[in-house]
Structure formats: C-alpha cells, structure tokens
Amino acid sequence: MSLRLSTVILPYLRWHEGGRSAWQRAEQLGFHTAFTYDHLSWRTFREGPWYGAVPTLTAAAGATDRLRLGTLVTSPNFRHPVTLAKELIALDDISGGRITLGIGAGGSGFDATTLLKSGEEPWTPRERADRFGEFVPLLDRLLTEDSVSYDGTFYSAREAYNIPGCVQRPRLPFAVAATGPRGLKLAAGYGQAWVTTGDPKLFETGTPEQSVQALRGQVEKLATACETVGRDVNELDKVLLTGFTPDRARPLESLDAFVDFAGRHMELGFTDIVIHWPVADYPDFAADEKVFEHIAMEAVGQLG
C-alpha cells in the first residue's frame, strides 16, 4: 500500500498576496490533494483575514491543472444541503472533476454561534449528530438525482433541480469525518473516504503511543460500521488530518521524523496523511518551509 500525502491551506491569505502561489506550489510539490477549511472563522484567526472556502477553491481550480481540491470539513453548522449541492456541482465542473467534499457534523466554535439569534443556544452534540444524519443522505440525493423533493425534520427540498449533476460520477466523493458510532455509520454508508484527527482528549496530556492506540480503535470501529452496512472497509480511503494529536508539529521537524510518524500510521491502515501548509503565526502549524517542501517531495518515496 502506498501513501498519499495531501495538505491543508488555510484561507487567510489574500489571493494576490500569497494565496494563488500557495495553491500552485502545492501542485508543483506533488501533493495529492490540497484542502481548505470551510469555516466562517477559526480559532485565533477570528479577528483577522479569513476567506470563504467555495470561492477560494474555485480560484484554486483555475490556478491549477492536476491537483485535487477539497474541504476539511464542511458541516451543517451554516450550510444547507440544497444550496451546497448547487455550489458543489458548479465547483466540480469548473475544476474538471477534481473536488472532494470533506464533510463532518461540525463543532462548537464560531460556526455554531455566529448565526444564532439573541438568547438562542447552540446545538448540542446530539443535535449536531441528528442534523448530520439527515444532511448527508439528502446531499447524496441532491448530487446524484436530477430533481429532489424531501420533507425532513431539519431540511426540506421542493423540486430541487441539479442538472447536469457532477462531472465525477455518480457524484463527487465524500470524505466523512467521524469518530462516534452514528458518524462512522454515515462514513460506511456514504463515504468514499473516512477522516479523523485522532482522539481530542489526548491532545493536551496524551502521548503519541496512546494516540496510536486510540486511532487503532477508531479504525476497528470503522470496520464494524462497514460490516453493519454490508461494505468492505477496504473500499474506503482512511485519512488522518495531522496537527491535532499529541505529536503536534513534531512530525514536520525533519524528513526522518515525518517518515517515522507516517509509517506508524500506515501500519494502522491509513491511506492518506494531510499536513498543514506552514503558518508562521500559528505554533502547531509553523513548520520550516524548506523542511516542509523536503517532506512533500521525498517522504512518499521513502515510505514505499
């Protein structure tokens, strides 16, 4: 099994002041996919520049030729499946069929609070999971059927037409981020890939060894979810988004460090590892650019 190496380019750079060149450089370095975050804002970037994911990916599609492009991740926090499907079909067309939709239930950050009315409470984890459970199947239909009518608990669609559909058939691939049983079942049923960041409880005080064990457990739960829906777990790509395990930025300190990190996770069955494009002002993503490029060009070859 060979490893695919991808990157996440945070959408905080002006397009003509570093944004375009980052996406083009990602293609030159040979990354399999370049993703961006689909948030209204994120962490310490809240009071600074932060651009929309879909326009950014549209611009990136025009600035590149071979690089796959995608979100990590889109969520129901501020997206509706009907409007999202229309944007994705256009984006898939503009890119020539190079889009992957990373999709998850969403978290409790700014995405969850920015659209709230005064006095309104954010969705609980259970409510987010409930919405996600309706969001994914409806989006699947919207991207594969010419016309969809649907009346659900959270979402509705009345004769929503999406012609001609995606360039990729039957639709663009879903990379479903999940760790709990309901999300893993959605990944098994609708995903072409599964995404994890590891166990967040281990980030502050856990060890890399504990993280590997936790990820092994997640992979085993994914296999169980696939078995439940009658699917071979080997059909799904398994994607690790780095930067959120106890290893933090250490795998990007040298080529050898990354090869060791990636090798340990390949043994768990991961097919794809995603590393963050260097961000000087964000410590966990502040990799040395020369080392980062060395990893991009050499690591996959060393991993066989």
Contact 7, 297 (CB under 8 A): no
Buried b / exposed e along 237-263 (16+ C-beta atoms within 10 A): bbbbbbbbbbbebebbeebebbbebbe
| pLDDT on residue 301 | 95
Give the tens place of pLDDT for each residue, 74-92: 999 999 999 999 999 999 9
Percentage of the chain beyond pLDDT 90 is 96
DSSP string spanning 57-94?
Answer: HHHHHHH-SS-EEEEEEE-TTT--HHHHHHHHHHHHHH
Is a pLDDT exceeding 70 seen at residue 1? Answer: no
Tokens of 14: 């002006």
**Residue 174 to residue 103: CA distance in whole angstroms:** 7
Give the tens place of pLDDT for each residue, 3-56: 999 999 999 999 999 999 999 999 999 999 999 999 999 999 999 999 999 999
Closest listed residue to residue 277, CA positions, set 21, 6, 7, 3: 7
Give the tens place of pLDDT for each residue, 143-190: 999 999 999 999 999 999 999 999 999 999 999 999 999 999 999 999
Closest listed residue to residue 161, CA positions, set 135, 136, 143, 138: 143
**Residue 161 to residue 13: CA distance in whole angstroms:** 35
Give the tens place of pLDDT for each residue, 220-278: 999 999 999 999 999 999 999 999 999 999 999 999 999 999 999 999 999 999 999 99
